[in-house]
């Protein structure tokens, strides 16, 4: 891994870390996932790549049809943006922050991320 200078934390970083989280999508309003399918995938999946994103930075990676990806916070609670694009059709996209802003806690539908390429 190349060494990279991490930009300084914002002046209000401690205040941001101390803020109470806002629940945008209450768990009780979301449909239950098919846990049998997820459990099956968990037992058979093999890690093929790992991407570590330093604080206040970004990374891009490709996920092919049928693959799964997992986001893990390795240094405690973090806030991150998740933006997804179809590599073959950049007009097909999902921006997590924009979706929350548009639908807030009144969202009634689940957005399904389908890898179509």
What is the pLDDT at residue 114?
A: 46
In a domain, 20, yes or no: no
The pLDDT of residue 35 = 87
Q: Tell whether 66 is covered by a domain.
A: yes
Q: Indicate whether 48 belongs to any domain.
A: yes
pLDDT (tens digit, 9 = 90+) per residue, 11-43?
Answer: 998 888 888 877 666 667 777 888 898 888 888
Q: What angle do CA 93, 113, 105 make, to 5 degrees?
A: 85
The parent domain of residue 65 ranges over 32-106
Structural domain includes residue 9: no
What pLDDT score was predicted for residue 45? Answer: 86
- Number of domains observed in the structure of the chain: 1
Q: In whole angstroms, give the CA distance from residue 71 to residue 77.
A: 12
The verdict on residue 115 lying in a domain is no
9 or 2, greater pLDDT = 9
54's enclosing H/E stretch is none
Q: Are strands 89-95 and 83-86 parallel, antiparallel or unpaired?
A: antiparallel
Per residue in 52-93, pLDDT (tens digit) is 888 878 888 999 888 888 888 887 777 777 888 888 888 888
Q: State the pTM of this model.
A: 0.52
Q: Is residue 19 part of a domain?
A: no
99: in domain: yes
Q: Where are the alpha helices (DSSP H) in 8-47?
A: 13-18, 35-44
Q: Is residue 80 part of a domain?
A: yes
- Mean pLDDT value across residues 42-49: 88
Position 73 scores a pLDDT of: 81
């Amino acid at each position: 891994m190349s060494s990279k200078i991490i930009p300084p934390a914002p002046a209000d970083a401690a205040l941001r870390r101390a803020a109470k989280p806002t629940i945008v999508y209450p768990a009780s309003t979301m449909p239950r996932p098919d846990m049998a399918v997820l459990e099956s995938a968990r037992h058979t999946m093999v890690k093929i790549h790992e991407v570590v994103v330093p604080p206040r930075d970004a990374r891009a990676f490709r996920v092919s049809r049928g693959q799964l990806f997992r986001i893990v916070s390795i240094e405690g609670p973090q806030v991150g943006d998740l933006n997804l694009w179809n590599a073959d059709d950049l007009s097909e996209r999902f921006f997590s922050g924009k979706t929350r802003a548009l639908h807030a806690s009144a969202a009634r539908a689940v957005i399904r991320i389908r890898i179509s390429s």
